[in-house]
Amino acid sequence: QGRLVPVFSESQAQGVLLARQGLSLLGRGQGRAYGDAALNSGNLTLNFTPANRFLSFDAKRGLLHAEAGVTLEQILNTFIPRGWFLPVTPGTKFPTLGGSVACDVHGKSHLSISHYVERLHMLMADGSRVACSPTEKPDLFWATTGGMGLTGLITSVELRLQAIESSFIKYEGVKAANLEEIFRLFEESAESPLTVAWIDCLAQGRTLGRSIMMRGEFARKRDLKTSARRQHALAVSHKPQVTVPFDLPGVTLNRFSMAAFNAAYFGKHPRHTETIMDFDSFFYPLDSVLHWNRIYGKSGMVQYQFLIPPRHSFEGIKTLLEAISASGKASFLAVLKKFGPMNNQGLLSFPTPGHFLALDFPVGNGDIFKHMDRWDELVLKFGGRVYLAKDARMHSGTFRAMYPRLPEWLRVKKKYDPHNVFASDLGRRLGLPDGGGLRHRRSGRSQSTRGKA
């Protein structure tokens, strides 16, 4: 099974690294990736969550230097009252900062988190301490952002925060009758700082791709209409949490129940609505539901998140939606997003210009994986890629075809980690170099995800 070693400091991590006795290592945060990215079976995994101190903050520049084990929630709780917010956040605030950089996370904003990282501090395979940035050892920096922890141990991160007047969001919701309309709305929303769309992946025919566009921006103080809100403009909201107490029966989520849910959700939403809402409701709706994965039953869930580049975005998304609908597989949690213009130099980073679609499916009897293999072929046809942080089943050949800069990444890996000290179950599944002493037997499929890994 390997060993999980808690790490409280960079020096302690260095000591474990130098005394590894031939085992491979992997740094781990909260383990919020959906597949096997945070697993290193039969070897050593360093749990960085105890290394969670803020090291410095430059209030003039909004530059935070924090240890890798600091969670996004810690950053929000500490810096929102000071008028600062994360520049990019995924749909949960529970991941660590180090893990977020290793996955190059994205969210409702147009860029990924690597665009706001000024410097990474790392421990390398030989135990040396190294700093890297877009201008200082840039090859290591761009191999590490999105590199899934396989280039070295991220020990701390220097991140530029975003200045805000309030923690509230000016929200605008707009219905789109079909895929053509939602693509048009994304084009019209290019200047909106925060955009995402819920999409009905089971709609067919003229309603294929019907969606609800969700636009937002941080409210200014003058936008807050009540004196109570203005007085608490930088409040940190703490929503009450509810719990899914048990695994729902597998038959609960099926094509018919999800189609009914999607139709009801789309139907109840006004054609156009505007409101002021707290940041927690806008960015992190699922964080208020504990054990939400139990909705998917004992077999768990698996996410399929893929991106199609701009040239083929509409045709590719349309083709995949048709294939998903025809498969009979249903997802009520489906999100469509358009990335803004970016020059993401991350060699294995997922976010690049184009549209991505993320869908959660119950594993059920496991035949969903055969469908995903077929969807992979369609994604490849349109020049797209699958997100490694949400992947639990992709084959190595597919991965190599989807990530054309892999040879560059492998050269950087060999330069800084020639003996492949850093490894993971995901890396082994995808055929990446592994120098571990007690490697587990590779299988073609990782265990399905039960929740947020």
Q: Can you give the residue ranges of every domain in the chain?
A: 3-164+405-429, 168-233+240-395
Q: Within a 10 A sphere around the Cβ of 190, how many other Cβ atoms?
A: 11
What is the C-alpha separation between 253 and 259, in angstroms, rounded? 10
Domain 3-164+405-429 has CATH 3.40.640.10: no
Share of the chain above pLDDT 70, in %: 94
pLDDT at 153: 99
* 220-270 pLDDT, tens digit each: 999 999 998 999 999 998 777 777 776 777 666 677 777 787 788 888 889
User: What local confidence, expressed as pLDDT, does residue 381 receive?
Assistant: 98
Residue 451: half-sphere exposure toward Cβ, Cα within 13 Å = 15
Q: Write out pLDDT tens, residues 114-172.
A: 999 999 999 999 999 999 999 999 999 999 999 999 999 999 999 999 999 999 999 99
Distance in angstroms (rounded) separating the CA atoms of residues 32 and 93: 10
Q: How far apart, in whole angstroms, are the C-alpha atoms of residue 46 and residue 29?
A: 8
Copy the structure tokens of residue 52. Answer: 């969670």
Residues 399 and 379: their CA atoms lie apart, in Å, by 11
Sequence-distant (≥ 6) Cβ neighbours of residue 90 within 8 angstroms? 72, 100, 105, 106, 107
- pLDDT of 35 reads 92
* 450 confidence band (pLDDT: 50, 70, 90): very low
How buried is residue 323: exposed, middle or buried, by Cβ count under 10 Å (0-12/13-18/19+)? middle
Asked, colleague to colleague, whether 3-164+405-429 and 168-233+240-395 share their fold, the answer is no
In the structure encoding, which two tokens stand for residue 147, read together? 């590199």
Query: Using the 8-state DSSP alphabet, how is residue 309 labeled?
Result: -
- The string of pLDDT tens digits covering residues 364-420 is 888 999 999 999 999 999 999 999 999 999 999 999 999 999 999 999 999 999 999
Residue type, 437: G
Q: Is 74 exposed, middle or buried (0-12, 13-18, 19+ CB in 10 A)?
A: middle
- Collapsing DSSP states into helix, strand and coil, what is residue 356? strand
Q: Check whether 92 has a pLDDT greater than 70.
A: yes
Mean pLDDT of the region 65-80: 99
CB-count burial class (<10 Å; 0-12, 13-18, 19+) for 322:
middle
3-class DSSP state for residue 139? helix
For residue 439, what pLDDT is reported?
A: 47
Element (H, E) at 170: strand 168-176
Return phi, psi of residue 71, to 5°: -90, 160
Report whether pLDDT(201) > 50: yes
Give 5's strand partners. 46
Percentage of the residues of the chain whose pLDDT score is greater than 90: 78
Average pLDDT in the chain: 92
Tokens standing for residue 322: 């048709």
Could you tell me the maximum CA-CA distance found in the chain, to the nearest angstrom?
A: 63
Whole-number Å distance between alpha carbons of 427 and 438: 15
Cβ neighbours of residue 322 closer than 8 Å, sequence gap 6 or more: 204, 208
Which of the two residues, 326 and 75, has the higher pLDDT score? 75
First to last CA, the chain: 16
The answer to whether 396 and 431 are in contact (CB under 8 A) is yes
| DSSP-derived 3-state class of residue 343 | coil
The rounded distance, in Å, linking the Cα atoms of 426 and 446 is 8
Nearest-angstrom CA–CA distance, 85 and 150: 28
Whole-angstrom distance, CA of residue 173 vs CA of residue 212: 7
**Of 416, 311, 304, 436, which Cα lies nearest the Cα of 368?**
304
Instruction: Work out the average pLDDT over 70-78.
Output: 98
- Starting from the edge strand earliest in sequence, which strands make up the sheet with 385-386, in order? 272-278, 168-176, 211-218, 194-199, 334-339, 354-362, 301-308, 385-386
Q: Please state which CATH class domain 168-233+240-395 belongs to.
A: alpha beta
pLDDT at 284: 95
